[in-house]
Amino acid sequence: MSLTPLAAHPSARPTPAFRGRIGRDARSGHYAVPRRYRLHLSLADPDGLRIAVTHSLLGLDQACPVTFLPAVPDCSDGGHSALRPLYDASAHRYQGPALAPVLSDDWSGRIVSTHGPDIARDLARGFGGGRAALYPCGAESQIEAVERMCAQGVEEAAQRAGAAGAADAERSAALDALLATLGTLDRGLGTHTYLISDQISLADVELWAALVRLDTVHRHHLDASAVHRIADHPALWAYARRLAAHPAFGKHLDLDAIDRRHHAGCQGLEAAGAAVQILDWAAHANPGAGGRPQVERP
């Protein structure tokens, strides 16, 4: 599936407090060494889910340990108290929230990066030798295009379509933008197994996490008709269902955690779409549990 890079646009991701990179050798300062780095992730957070899936696809359980954090941050500013020592050690008098995800350096006790896409890319490039080519050379612009498409055409459009205080015209335009994006993806996946190549890449991890969030979070603020129109993209949701059955994806799908995080911080009104589940994610993440790959009518 060929994707044209989009113009840069602010995404729904918060501005990262730290954005170091893992290089290829000692001259870079941070370089790939087994067990030097540690991930701190919450599976209820979209970036945390993406990085956890990437980590599993690369088979990095031994090379880069993971500390999993609670679904709902325990600090009033939205941060995690468990991450505060790392933030304090990494920036003098740091005043912001101690947010996840975090890639930390156990050698120095400091943070390398809090930027989700960079962390995933560095894991793939730094530790991915001989493993799945999740971030192949020459595909960088296509993967970045998918990231922006998911941020703008899925995440932001779904948020605006479900915004309680927005005018009807604004919500309608946002829904149209969301459906146009899903339509483009659906047509591409109708003839391709994965987004940009014949195997899983970071583009697929990005899109799958966005689809999980669309069905488990954003649909709660949409009307039932809108959710049924979103569900009417059979190739796209078959793709989401197929990836959910992949062990590296499905084992990290903590639906209860996503729900608790959503309701802990959500200030919007629940709409009729909350009763219309597009996929039975729990069943597809555990194929032996059964379940039907279709919209469940309220």
28-62 pLDDT, tens digit per residue, is 678 889 999 999 999 999 999 999 999 999 999 99
**C-beta separation of 32 from 2 below 8 A:** no
- The one-letter code for the residue type at 225 is S
CATH 3.40.30.10 fits 26-127, yes or no: yes
**Site of tokens 């113009």:** 7
Is the pLDDT score of 18 beyond 90? yes
Is the pLDDT score of 202 beyond 50? yes
Position 93 scores a pLDDT of 87
Name the token pair of 145: 């295009």
**C-beta separation of 227 from 217 below 8 A:** no
What is the distance, to the nearest Å, from the Cα of residue 235 to the centroid of all Cα atoms in its chain? Answer: 20
**DSSP β-bridge partners for residue 296:** 277
Position 166 scores a pLDDT of 83
Q: How many CB atoms lie within 10 A of CB 129?
A: 10
Percent of the chain as helix, strand, coil, to the nearest 5: 50, 5, 45
**Site of tokens 């959500």:** 266
Taking the CA atoms of the chain, what radius of gyration do you get in angstroms?
A: 19
Residues 148 and 209: their CA atoms lie apart, in Å, by: 13
- Residue 25: pLDDT band (50, 70, 90) is low
Q: pLDDT of 151-171, one tens digit each? A: 999 999 999 999 977 889 999
Q: How many CB atoms lie within 10 A of CB 2?
A: 9
3-state secondary structure of 78: coil
Query: Residue 257 class from Cβ within 10 Å (0-12 exposed, 13-18 middle, 19+ buried)?
Result: buried
Q: Are strands 102-105 and 110-113 parallel, antiparallel or unpaired?
A: antiparallel
Position 275 scores a pLDDT of 85
- The one-letter code for the residue type at 103 is L
Q: Which of 72-76, 87-91, 202-206, 282-286 has the lowest mean pLDDT?
A: 282-286
Is the pLDDT score of 186 beyond 50? yes
- Residue 285: pLDDT band (50, 70, 90) is confident
Q: Are strands 37-41 and 66-68 parallel, antiparallel or unpaired?
A: parallel
- Residue 274: pLDDT band (50, 70, 90) is confident
Provide mean pLDDT across the span 231-235: 97
